[in-house]
A and B are shown apart, each in its own frame.
Chain A
Amino acid sequence: MAMPLAAQSTSLDELPAATQDEISRVCLPVQYREGAGAYRNCVQTEISLRDGSTNNPSDLARLSFDDKYAVQQACAKAGGQSSSDYQSCVTTQISELNAVEAPKLELISEDELYVVQQSCFDAQSKQGAANYRRCLNGEVNSLLAIPAADTSNLNMLKKNALQLRCSSNASNAVQYRQCVASEFESIAGQAPSFLPVSTAAVVTANQPTLDNNQRNNQTVNDVVQEVAQSQQTQIEPATTTESSSANNAQLADNEAPQEEPTMSLPRNIVPPGADQRQLTDVIDNKTSTDTVNIAEVVNSDSSEQEAASSESADNLLLAQASTVDTAAQTPDAADARVISRPELVETLNKQAQAKAQGVELDAADAAATSAPDAGADLMSKASVLWQKFLNSLSSLDSTGWLIIAGILALPALLLGLFSFTRHLKPRTAVAPSSHPDLASRIEPGLQTRRLRHEEQAASLFDDESPASTADIDHDAITRIATKSERPLERTGLDNALAEDDIDNPVRSDAPHQSGQPVAETTHWQSAFGGWLQRLPDTEKTSACIEFLIYWVAYGDDRYEPELKKRLFTATDLSSHDEIKRWVLKQDVFAFSDVIAWMRQNATQAELDQSVSLIWALLVTENNVTPVQTTLIRYLSDAFGTGKENIESRFEKAFGHPLPTMPRTDNLAWWAKQDDTQVQDWNARAIATRPEQEQMIARLGLPAKYNEAQVINAFRRAARRCHPDRFTALGDRERAMAEQRFIKFEEARDKLLGVSV
Chain B
Amino acid sequence: MRNYYDVLDLARSASSKALNDALGGLTTEQIEEEGDLKAIMETTEWRTHYRRAHLQYEAIAAAMNHPALQGTLDTHLWSKRVIEFEPEQNTIDFGAPGTK
User: What residues make up the interface of A, taking CB atoms closer than 8 Å to B?
Assistant: 522-527, 529-530, 533-534, 551, 555-557, 586, 588-589, 591-593, 595-597, 599-600, 625-627, 630-631, 633-634, 636-638, 640-644, 661-667, 670, 678, 681
C-alpha gap A524/B65 in the complex (Å):
12
From residue A55, how far is it (CB to closest CB) to chain B in Å? 85
Q: Does any Cβ of A come within 8 Å of B23's Cβ?
A: no
- Given A556-B52, A664-B49, 9 more pairs with CB closer than 8 A: A524-B91, A530-B100, A557-B52, A599-B68, A599-B72, A634-B60, A637-B78, A665-B40, A665-B53
Q: In the complex, which range does the number of interface residues on chain B fall in?
A: 35 or more
Contact B50 A596 (CB under 8 A): no
Q: Does any Cβ of A come within 8 Å of B55's Cβ?
A: yes
C-alpha gap A52/B34 in the complex (Å):
92
C-alpha gap A702/B78 in the complex (Å):
34
Question: Closest chain A residue to B69 by CB distance?
Answer: A596
Contact A588 B62 (CB under 8 A): yes
Contact B76 A643 (CB under 8 A): yes
Known interface pairs A525-B66, A589-B87, A636-B75; A530-B92 also in contact (CB < 8 Å): yes
Q: Does any Cβ of A come within 8 Å of B59's Cβ?
A: yes
The count of A-to-B residue pairs whose CB atoms sit within 8 angstroms is 143
C-alpha gap A597/B98 in the complex (Å):
17
User: What residues make up the interface of B, taking CB atoms closer than 8 Å to A?
Assistant: 1-2, 4, 12-13, 35-37, 39-40, 45-46, 49-50, 52-53, 55-63, 65-69, 72-76, 78, 81, 87, 89-94, 97-100
Most chain-A CB neighbours within 10 Å: which of B60, B61, B63, B92?
B63
The 5 A-B residue pairs with the shortest CB-CB distance in the complex, in nearest-first order: A530-B94, A596-B68, A592-B63, A643-B75, A588-B59
Contact A681 B92 (CB under 8 A): no
Q: Which residues of B contact A596 (CB under 8 A)?
A: 63, 66-69
Contact B98 A534 (CB under 8 A): yes
Q: Which residues of B contact A625 (CB under 8 A)?
A: 49, 52
Q: Which residues of B contact A533 (CB under 8 A)?
A: 94, 97
Q: Which residues of B contact A527 (CB under 8 A)?
A: 92, 94
From residue A396, how far is it (CB to closest CB) to chain B in Å? 59
Q: Which residues of A contact B46 (CB under 8 A)?
A: 664, 670
From residue A78, how far is it (CB to closest CB) to chain B in Å? 68
Most chain-B CB neighbours within 10 Å: which of A523, A589, A631?
A589
Contact B72 A627 (CB under 8 A): no
Contact A592 B94 (CB under 8 A): no
C-alpha gap A526/B88 in the complex (Å):
12
Q: Which residues of B contact A557 (CB under 8 A)?
A: 52
Contact of A591 among B59, B75, B92, B93 (CB under 8 A): B59
C-alpha gap A530/B90 in the complex (Å):
13
C-alpha gap A663/B32 in the complex (Å):
19
Q: Which residues of A contact B53 (CB under 8 A)?
A: 626-627, 630, 662, 664-665
C-alpha gap A627/B1 in the complex (Å):
13
Contact B66 A593 (CB under 8 A): yes
Q: Which residues of B contact A592 (CB under 8 A)?
A: 59, 62-63, 65-66, 69
Contact A667 B73 (CB under 8 A): no
Contact B36 A555 (CB under 8 A): no
Q: Which residues of A contact B73 (CB under 8 A)?
A: 636-638, 640-642
Contact A665 B75 (CB under 8 A): no
Contact A525 B45 (CB under 8 A): no
C-alpha gap A369/B40 in the complex (Å):
101
Contact A523 B59 (CB under 8 A): no
A-B contact pairs, 23 of them (CB 8 A): A524-B92, A525-B91, A527-B94, A529-B94, A555-B55, A556-B52, A588-B59, A595-B66, A596-B69, A599-B68, A625-B49, A626-B53, A627-B49, A630-B60, A634-B60, A634-B78, A637-B72, A643-B75, A644-B75, A665-B50, A667-B36, A667-B40, A681-B49
From residue A633, how far is it (CB to closest CB) to chain B in Å? 5
Known interface pairs A525-B62, A526-B90, A526-B92; A627-B52 also in contact (CB < 8 Å): yes
Known interface pairs A530-B94, A534-B100, A665-B36; A638-B4 also in contact (CB < 8 Å): no
From residue B15, how far is it (CB to closest CB) to chain A in Å? 15
C-alpha gap A662/B53 in the complex (Å):
9
Most chain-B CB neighbours within 10 Å: which of A556, A591, A592?
A592
